[in-house]
Amino acid sequence: MALLEIKKYPEKILKEKTAPVVDINSSIQRLIDDMIETMYAAKGVGLAANQVGVSKRLCVIDISVADEKTPLIVLINPEIVERKGSVEDEEGCLSIHEYRAKIKRAEEVLVKGFDRKGKPIEIAGGDLLARALQHEIDHLDGLLFIDRLSPIKREFFKKRYKKTLSEKSKKS
């Protein structure tokens, strides 16, 4: 297994809609293992394939830090088929340095997709799981949580992020 480099905003691949996985072959299996390792190393609760430079509709989620009963989830070609309610909570992203914001999301979702063996699966999630599912599926559609901010907040974010990036480049 190997740690993969996590792409950071404003890298272009993060803005592109990913392509469905058509064959769950050995290179996809290796990618899944590497994504799981990379997610844990970065202390994230989810990671989408395009965040590690592969524009495929595939993500991994592990919210066990908050809810230890929920196992690691590998989702291939996921789609949200039902949404219920609305709730606002804070989000961050491994692809965005040092920024968190409150984002409105559906309170519960039902997601259909396939597991790593190609078996069809359905996941019903509330709370953090619902948020993680929506956040990761957004990634696969080429959306970041900052795309869900109000225009004013997004402008504020962009200014602040420029500063963050220039400070980071000075340090390295």
Q: How big is the site for Ni ion, counted in residues (CB under 5 A)?
A: 1
Cβ atoms of 110 and 80 closer than 8 Å? yes
Q: How far is the CB of 7 from Ni ion (least distance, A)?
A: 10
Which range touches Ni ion (CB under 5 A), out of 68-76, 86-94, 121-129, 163-171? Answer: 86-94
Quote the CA–CA distance of 91 and 10 in Å, as a whole number. 18
Which range touches Ni ion (CB under 5 A), out of 1-9, 76-84, 91-99, 125-133? Answer: 91-99
* CB under 8 A, 24+ apart: contacts of 33-39: 33/1, 34/1, 34/2, 34/3, 34/4, 35/4, 35/59, 35/60, 36/60, 36/62, 36/72, 36/74, 37/1, 37/2, 37/3, 38/3, 38/4, 38/6, 39/94
Q: Residue 44 or residue 113: which is nearer to Ni ion going by CB? A: 44
Which range touches Ni ion (CB under 5 A), out of 7-15, 54-62, 90-98, 103-111? Answer: 90-98
Q: Is 93 in the site for Ni ion (CB under 5 A)?
A: yes
Tokens describing residue 43: 């202390």
Q: How far is the CB of 81 from Ni ion (least distance, A)?
A: 22
φ/ψ of residue 19, rounded to 5: -95, 140
Q: Residue 11 or residue 118: which is nearer to Ni ion going by CB? A: 11
Q: Residue 117 or residue 153: which is nearer to Ni ion going by CB? A: 153
Q: Residue 39 or residue 123: which is nearer to Ni ion going by CB? A: 39
Q: How far is the CB of 82 from Ni ion (least distance, A)?
A: 22
Quote the CA–CA distance of 159 and 163 in Å, as a whole number. 7
Q: How far is the CB of 158 from Ni ion (least distance, A)?
A: 17
Annotated active-site positions, please? 136
Residues near Ni ion (CB under 5 A):
93
